Amino acid sequence: MTVSVAIAGATGYAGGELVRLLLGHPEHLAGNLQIGALTGASSAGTPVSEALPHAPELFGRTIEPTDAEHLAGHDVVFLALPHGHSAEIAAQLPEDTVVIDCAADHRLTDAGDWAHWYGGDYSGSWPYGIPEMPGHREELAGATRIALPGCFPTGATLALLPAVAAGLVAPEVTVTSVSGVSGAGKKPVVTNLGAETMGSLRAYNTAGRHRHTPEIAQNLGEYSEEPVSVSFTPVLAPLPRGILTVASAPLAEAAAGTDTAAARAVYEEFYADEPFVTLLAEGVQPQTQWVLGANTCHVQVEVDAASGRLLATAAIDNLTKGTAGAGVQCMNLALGLPETAGLPTTAVAP
């Protein structure tokens, strides 16, 4: 049986990364996975050779309009669209089509959070695409509707999840994430121009204004007996891709006296069977260059005894593990394929 896959928003950064990963997927190389419609909005009618020059295998094709007519008839549809556009298209696709939403439309489980942070009609939540979160892998297996996480919540969640789940920290976390400019998408914006970003760092959406804040709290809150408060600060860096997350929280009263060795033991056990999460050797800090193009997350954890806080750091590629790689990982689970199929764990170096 051949599985056909369509990508809505194929000309964006996330869509282009999906193309790259799917072209290297073993099922595609074996002839069992076919890349169908590649759609765009303003780019409709553009030759693929112009829109996706990194994918010569698809030259000769044309970007099609993004609508249900062109997406229908596929077994899997990736929606790599801006938030607010996915729900309408998904509603027009058959229930047995595996629809994987790269946007925020179905991530939040609370309608009030959606209204506050995004506004407009709430479309409900779908199974959430971080398989490393306990219980989520089972929900994703065989699912036909999947919400991919935001890239910042992916790094923050994987950095702090073992500590929260084990009760090592109080539910008051501080997260700072340094991100490359591709996380803002391909739309031309003056503040993302090379002349504005090269040689400079800039915090933005500070003091709790970033829309990924409730998603981080929601993820960690699943494994906490108390609501989790999150202070999140994103920082834009002059990088094409990559996110370095630095997260900390005070040690819980019950975990007072926990040292780095004990914290590392918790993380080692939590991620022992996870193929895409690596706890680095003690003293080695994650670097974004070590995860470029790979569906991996590198993590470090230590305890600052003087301040009584746990510090966790994590590095991901925002376009791979942070978006498209997570999408392929979830597609594999939904279709009953090996979870790791088509997903590189070796980064591009240098």
**Catalytic residue of the set 102, 151, 297, 330:** 151
Nearest alpha-carbon partner for 324 in 126, 140, 100: 100
Residue 68: other Cβ atoms inside 10 A: 14
The identity of residue 311, as a single letter, is L
Residues 126 and 106: their CA atoms lie apart, in Å, by 6
Where is 265: in which H helix or E strand?
A: helix 260-270
Beta bridge partners, 298, equal 278, 315
Tokens of 330: 């979830």
**Side-chain half-sphere exposure of 91, counting CA atoms within 13 A:** 9
Find all residues with CB under 8 Å of 331, minimum gap 6, and list them.
5, 76, 78, 98, 100, 337
For 194-211, b/e burial (b = at least 16 CB within 10 A) is eeebeeeeeeeeeeeebb
Is 151 in the active site?
A: yes
Is 147:128 a contact under the CB 8 Å cutoff? yes
- In DSSP notation, 107-159 reads T-S-HHHHHHHT-S-------BS-TTSTTHHHHHTT-SEEEPPPHHHHHHHHH
DSSP state of 285: P
Residues 296 and 340: their CA atoms lie apart, in Å, by 11
Is 344:321 a contact under the CB 8 Å cutoff? no
- In DSSP notation, 221-234 reads HTT-SSPPEEEEEE
Task: Report, as residue numbers or ranges, the catalytic residues.
Answer: 151
